[in-house]
């Protein structure tokens, strides 16, 4: 799974084996815990984000989930563009380490 960001101990990455049309699934991992988000895109615009647990994995703890939601919310458009670059245009995606709070 291509890594997108590191943010306060979380690793944010795409779900493997994505396909068109754009329906971005990303995972947040921290110390063996994992949750996922699906970014809903309609006509090129992010309209919603749905969060859920990953089957067979312990979910992110409360604070980790707050950070996960924070980064997904702040970077949703960038995540969608990286999805297009990686899965549609077959470009490499460089991970980014974010050391300050996003809001």
Q: Cβ(13)–Cβ(24) under 8 Å?
A: no
Supply the pTM of this predicted model: 0.88
pLDDT in tens, 52-103: 998 899 999 999 999 999 999 999 999 999 988 988 899 999 999 999 998 7
80 closest CA partner among 36, 34, 49: 49
Compute CA 95 distance to the chain's CA centroid, rounded to the nearest angstrom. Answer: 12
The whole-number average pLDDT for the span 27-47 is 90
Q: Cβ(102)–Cβ(10) under 8 Å?
A: no
Cα atoms found within 13 Å of the Cα of residue 12, Cβ hemisphere only: 31
State the pLDDT confidence band at 18, using cuts at 50, 70 and 90. low
pLDDT of residue 61: 95
pLDDT of residue 52: 92
pLDDT of residue 73: 93
23 closest CA partner among 88, 75, 71, 69: 88
């Amino acid at each position: 799974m291509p890594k997108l960001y590191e943010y306060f101990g979380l690793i944010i990455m795409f779900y493997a084996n994505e396909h068109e049309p754009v329906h971005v699934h990303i995972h947040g991992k921290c110390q063996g815990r994992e949750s996922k988000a699906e970014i809903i895109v309609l006509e090129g615009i992010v309209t919603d984000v749905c969060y859920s647990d990953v089957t067979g994995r312990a979910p992110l703890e409360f604070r980790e989930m707050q950070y996960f939601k924070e980064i997904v919310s702040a970077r949703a458009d960038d995540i969608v563009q990286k999805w297009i670059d990686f899965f549609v245009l077959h470009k490499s995606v460089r991970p980014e380490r974010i050391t300050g709070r996003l809001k």
